[in-house]
Amino acid sequence: MTGAGGMLGRAVVEAATRRGHDVRGQTRSQLDVTAAGDVERALDKARPQAVVHCAAYTDVDGAESDRATAEAVNATGAGNVAAAAAAVGAAIVHISTDYVFDGSKREPWLESDPTGPLGVYGESKLAGELAVARANPAHTIVRTSWLFGAGGRNFVDTMLALGAQREEIAVVVDQVGCPTWTGHLAAALVRIAGQPGEPGIRHLAGAGSCSWYELAREVFERAGLDCHVLPARTGDVPRPARRPAYSVLSSERPDAIALPPWRDGVAEYLATRVAV
């Protein structure tokens, strides 16, 4: 698998190892997915049955001023991995994002809904989806949402740090999505890699939905932090990249996989932090 040093990649390695799989994880320093030759040699040597492709450029705001890198990693790199996997007869499970949608719906987005990314990050991830589908017939493209977990920058950790320092914080209330714990998602990705099912796109995120404001309140309540959360509008907190106002994901696939509720993910993640 690629991206083994990242937040989701670490969780996938742990989940696959627990299930007894022979895991060959490659970190960014070990494998540059933008170098097609290196990717081909790595997969030819490993000869995997399936590749879980977690490597990605995930800086949503940074992508606005660094389109070249975002596209090289998220589009070209994804295509390189998919093609190299196909060359050795391996299926690919490619991780994508809710940011391929424009957020204009007010009901959950399904796999067949039209895409319309609002920023460079979403555009690069959509281009990656297309590159993967072209390069490898045995593909599963997993769109997920609002990831949090150990080993990487994420909203939950940011809130924990700010909540310990401040008495009050303003958090956006008019963006709604599906917070997803990497521990829950990773287990499902390993299952898909072992039994891919019908190729194509699959939506997979924490059950239920909330705003960033509601997520912050849940984190503070469960962590026992006495920090008051004020609702803010997106326009009050300007960012370089536009975000979809509503990016709740659901699935129309007959073989849809349901993840646990997002609140359970928060609780389990906080429990793992305390245990460490």
First to last CA, the chain: 25
Q: Is 121 a catalytic residue?
A: yes
Residue 177: CB partners within 8 Å, gap ≥ 6?
Answer: 98, 145, 146, 205, 209, 210, 244, 246, 247, 248, 249
User: What pLDDT does residue 197 have?
Assistant: 74
What are the tens digits of pLDDT across the range 7-50?
Answer: 999 999 999 999 999 999 989 999 999 999 999 999 999 999 99
Task: For 104-158, write each residue's pLDDT tens digit.
Answer: 999 999 999 999 999 999 999 999 999 999 999 999 999 999 999 998 889 999 9
**175-209 confidence digits (pLDDT tens):** 999 999 999 999 999 999 998 678 999 999 999 99
Predicted pLDDT of residue 237: 86
| SS3 state at 78 | helix
Give the integer Cα–Cα distance in Å for 236 and 121: 22
Q: What pLDDT does 275 receive?
A: 55
Q: List, in order, residues 6 or more apart from 11 with CB less than 8 Å away.
A: 149, 150, 151, 182, 183, 185, 186
pLDDT at 159: 96
CA–CA gap between residue 210 and residue 214 (Å, rounded): 6
For residue 1, what pLDDT is reported?
86
pLDDT tens digits for range 54-101: 999 999 999 999 999 999 999 999 999 999 999 999 999 999 999 999
Closest CA to 243 of 60, 95, 115: 60
- In this prediction, residue 274 has a pLDDT band, given cuts at 50, 70 and 90, of low
Q: Say whether pLDDT at 210 is over 90.
A: yes
Closest CA to 264 of 157, 183, 195: 183
- 92 touches 85 (CB < 8 A): yes
The predicted pLDDT at position 152 comes to: 85
Lowest mean pLDDT among 90-94, 208-212, 235-239: 235-239
Q: How many Å separate Cα 100 from the centre of its chain?
A: 12
> What does the pLDDT read at residue 276?
45
What CATH number labels 7-212+235-275? 3.40.50.720
Marked catalytic residue, from 121, 213, 246, 269: 121
pLDDT at 213 over 50: yes
Q: Domain ranges in the chain?
A: 7-212+235-275
